[in-house]
Structure 1
Amino acid sequence: MNADSTDQFGNANAGEPSAPVSTDGPTRRSTQGSTHVWIARPDGGLDYANGCWRRFAGRSSTEMLGHGWRHLVHPDDLGDFLNVWRDACRTRSALRTETRLLAADGSDRRFLIRAEPLTDERGVIVNWQGVNTMLADASPSEQDGDGGDTSAEDLSEVMTRVRTRMAASANHDLRRPLSAVSFLSNSLAKRLRDPISRDLLSAMVRAVESMQSLVDNQLYFDQVDTGQVQPRFVDHGVNSSLVRLANEFSPMAERKGLGFTLHPCSATIRTDPALLDTMLKNLVCNALRYTVEGRVVVGCRRQGNWLRVHVLDTGRGIAAEELGLIWQDFFRSSRSVQEYPGGYGLGLSVVKRLAERLGHTVEVTTTPHRGSCFTIKIPLSDRAASPPHGELSVTTQPLAGLRVLVVDADATALNAVRLLVEEWGGTVRSARGVAEAESLLASGSFQPDVILADFRLGGTANGILAMHKLTGMVAHVFKSPARGVILTEENTAVREREIALAGYGMIAKAISPETLYRTLSAVTRNQDPTPAGA
């Protein structure tokens, strides 16, 4: 707050601050009657005041935020309180004082006011986060200094609980509309007949499911971060996390024209899968957001008893003066704010705190204008992965030697199939269309045992016609047959019968690992692929 400006208290800030009201030493015991939570700008203007304070003051949110503190602090205490505020702003130190606040009926009550400053990368105060705790009348022993501040809670603990309640409330509020959208989408799917509309609806359903997962994981993170629950450590196959990354972020990379490569890994690690996924998603999202051209690569490397998971990008890198600040809550460089105004600067701080809670480590290396590499170091497990309910558990490589050609313009499907099949020991080649697949087969460099082709490949040919052409080409070039499986987002009896009559198997999108494994296993056993979507 500038010394010569006019603040939200309605006072000119001329001259040096006088001695503030005593902020140290014994204070009165707090009561359980009223706790106010607020956020204010350095000039004293309120950006937020909780309902408890609004009810105590008898003011609406607009009145509270519009007038600031000058109508909330007792007139006789306002001058001293302003001096305390100025001094805390000047020294960028925590604010702690007692003052009288005005109630709705015109009376006043004495409060212990505590606040901490939030600063940016230059050390400039962005806002203050504070709590007002109502004080009871002091007993003689407390006035003599014997009682002390025994029941007044630490400000950071109060703010932690407030943030947790706010997060839980927000997550609860988000869950209801998301559940409604999911239900309505499923109802609408039964009524749609137009294939393009059904494809669009399927994409929307996947987006809603991703949002639901994000909301659930965020609530879980808040509970773990505040110590309400302990991390749930299991033996986890890291490749399942990589598959989820492929499903979620391949479309984003494709929209930006970036390469997005995930190298499969068969390692089993000891971690909390939900929290690890949150860490990886934050790192990959940041990498894709700040990379304009080039690619993002996710890969793993064993190092003794640890697995190092790397997220590399070819973005602009991180300036040397910012490296020590990137893990702070709400930190965003000025360039990031200008180029990507929608962020909040919490992604990396979440990664750091989760790593600490899980006993993992996270580190970064960077070269300005060339890119960065974030690494999570996780302990390896010598036991098999503990599969979540409903997920496939494969501890060997049951598809070793199987060769799979995937023909699909959907980068998400390509990445998911490649990661899964390679983990199971198979070999995958991919093509974004029929012409690219034909070129690969004509070269004679790859003989597939099975071809997975999307039902909607664009142009006039659907997946069935394309499959006829490609399986025929395999038979002609390699003098041996290849099995065909159609990938489709229309998981209906009509579509299943159409594909089965053509002599091919069917897998519904989004691709289930269990269904993919079951279908490909049938090929290795020389059986017909299961013509089912589930």
Structure 2
Amino acid sequence: MEKNSELDQATLRLIVSACALLYIAVLASIHPGGATGYVPIIVYIVTFIVASVFLRMIIKRWPGHFFWRRLFSMLHDYTGIAFAMVLGGESALPIYAALLWVTLGNGMRFGSRYLALATVIALSTLVLIFWLNPFWRTQPYMFLMLIVTTIVVPAYAHILLKRTRIASEEAISANQEKSRFLAQASHDLRQPIHSIGLFTACLRDARLGLEELRLVDNIDRSLHTVSQLFRSILDIYTLDHGQLMPKADTVHLGQLLQDVVKQNTEAARWAGVELRLRACPYWVSVNPGLLTTMVQNLLSNALKYAPGQPVLIGVRRQGKRLAVVIYDKGRGIAAEHLPEVFKEFYRVRHVRDKDVEGLGLGLSIVKRISQLLDVDIHIRSKVGQGTRVAISGLEPAAPRITSPKVVPVQNRLDGLRVCLVEDDANVLMATSALLEKWGCEVEAHSDGEGLASDCDIVIADFDLGTRISGSECIAAIREQRGWQVPALVITGHEIERIRQSLQSLNISVLAKPVRPPELRAVLLELVKRMDRKGEASAHVNPPSR
């Protein structure tokens, strides 16, 4: 939310005027003989405070940039200062600090234009004070000092504001350039990682010897590491730019954790770790994607730093809320390191740490996401005994009513007609080969414009060039077929933005690089939906006899 500088100024006006009232009251108590001379000042300041309260209410009720309201606020401030300095004379000299404060405050809050306007009004106010009060006329040099100060200080502030504005514009421009570069680099780097992963999956299904399978396993493991590092860097960039907007959904927590465990089965096998998941019947209200990222990063840490040891994932009740807890029996973390582990690139150094992959970003991402989701993250660890990490504060929710599961027949992808649209030749070749290995009949297209297909499912890249997007290609096929053909978009762009844009179109979304098990799981889910729709259609329109 944008900061309301005018409201802050109105609040500060009340504080300063209250301090001025206190100052005049102290003066009146010190000089009781002349206390009657301070009464008009006190009355005026009280009136000033009342008017300032109403002005603050107006600013809060109608926020925004209104020039005449800001001009009125400045005149309101300078009138009060002039009144106090005219009537107070020598004893009111400290109130000049308020005049300088108001002048600089308007410039710092609203820019050089208002600084110049405030300076002109301040100088006019000083001239008025000089003309109305005999004391100031007897102190011309002191008054000249005030005039010079009122000109020089704002002038210097203007120079600083100008330099700050130029530096800010340069920083914004550089940041935009960096954003464009990262967005393009993100898309371009995802493509080869994505295609290598699919080619590797094809190799794994081929008839290879044990040595060749070992080499494929090493390639897959290295690719998984690169993919994890790549996603971590992109997650940090996305979090830094406030591009993640958490939208809560009702999620079966046990199923979410089970999916994470399935996705890490291969990584656990490579690390020699037995993943143990305790069954969980709870439903929670949370953003599933962000919670999955948190659990994924914590689990990745456990696999790195507790190789060869079992890792347990469970859910515990904490009062009215729930906590996801991950236990490992790894090397543990010394107490002096625990306050630092959530910092970017911080890693606890141990012997042979060079063998542990990573950049030290995982826990930093977890901490930032916990703040977005308004949950807590706690770590307890002892050296040589292991580590316990808890994501606590999850809000339980009522179970969502789901349709009965349709059990698919063995290898339900056999004979599935897939229309594949991808403008990258390597990705198109790799995806086609993998789908055909799974038994699908693939129509491969490098261009989605003017496409017609008699397929069961459409898989399209989101970015197909300047003429058509993946979603538009899917919409055209659906219009041609006359029904909502199940569809999947695979994208190298920021996935949350793509999901939001396709939310109403009933299109599944996966982010590159896609792991083959993820792709297979989504395809099977689309087949289930197709089966359920077919059964519902048959029930509504039974065949005639």
Same structural fold, with TM-score higher than 0.5 when normalized by the shorter chain = no
Q: Which has the higher strand share?
A: 1
TM band (smaller chain)? 0.3 to 0.5
- Considering Cα pairs closer than 8 Å and 6+ residues apart, tell me whether 1 or 2 has the greater RCO: 2
